[in-house]
């Protein structure tokens, strides 16, 4: 049994396979969401393979996100990847439980990031990663977008 603050997250729990594209190219991958520490945190682990293209060698992207309830209210997350990025997020959900959005904390002279999970039909979802440039921290544009289906 989960605690009430995890109710909106239930659709994410499990193993997913997906594909999508954007600035890094077309990629295919998998991600897993699972509870840990006796349901005190939700972990997201992601792996995406990008094939070689004329101007770029094949590469893989791996990341880990730890999602947790903020002691003063709401939800927070911290993201780590194999490129050395660490991103702190504030997380929001809709009452319907069909949309979960991660928005990075604003840092002067740095871009801002937003990741959105949109629940679809029949065990599918859309994942959108957006970036806002320094100086226009709410001017998000899509960097990558893809779809995933639950295994």
What CATH number should be reported for the domain holding residue 90? 2.40.128.20
Residue 13 and residue 150: Cα distance in Å, rounded? 9
Give the pLDDT confidence of 103-146 residue by residue, as tens digits.
Answer: 999 988 899 999 999 998 888 999 999 999 998 888 999 998 98
**pLDDT at res. 114:** 96
- pLDDT(15) > 90: yes
Contacts of 45 (CB under 8 A, 6+ apart): 31, 32, 62, 63, 64
Domain range for residue 73? 4-150
1 pLDDT more than 60: no
Q: pLDDT tens, 16-71? A: 998 776 666 677 889 999 999 999 999 999 998 888 878 888 889 999 999 999 99
pLDDT bucket at 6, cuts 50 / 70 / 90? confident
pLDDT at 3: 64
Rg (CA), the chain: 15
Query: How many domains is the chain partitioned into structurally?
Result: 1
Indicate the DSSP class of residue 2: -
Under DSSP, is residue 3 helix (H, G, I), strand (E, B) or coil? coil
Stated pTM of the model: 0.88
pLDDT confidence of residue 12: 92
Look at residue 25 in the predicted model and tell me its pLDDT. 64
Identify the CA nearest to 149 among candidates 51, 29, 24.
29
């Amino acid at each position: 049994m989960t605690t009430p603050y995890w109710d909106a997250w239930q659709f994410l729990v499990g193993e997913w396979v997906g594909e999508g594209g954007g600035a890094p190219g077309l990629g295919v991958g998998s991600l897993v969401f699972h509870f840990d520490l006796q349901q005190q945190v939700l972990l997201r682990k992601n792996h995406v393979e990008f094939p070689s293209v004329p101007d770029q060698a094949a590469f893989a992207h791996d990341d880990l996100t730890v999602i947790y309830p903020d002691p003063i209210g709401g939800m927070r997350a911290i993201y780590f990847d194999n490129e050395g990025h660490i991103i702190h997020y504030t997380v929001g959900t809709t009452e319907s439980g069909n949309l979960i959005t991660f928005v990075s904390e604003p840092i002067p002279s740095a871009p801002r990031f937003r990741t959105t999970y949109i629940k679809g039909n029949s065990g599918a979802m859309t994942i959108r990663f957006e970036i806002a440039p320094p100086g226009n921290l709410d001017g998000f544009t899509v960097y990558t977008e893809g779809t995933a289906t639950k295994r």
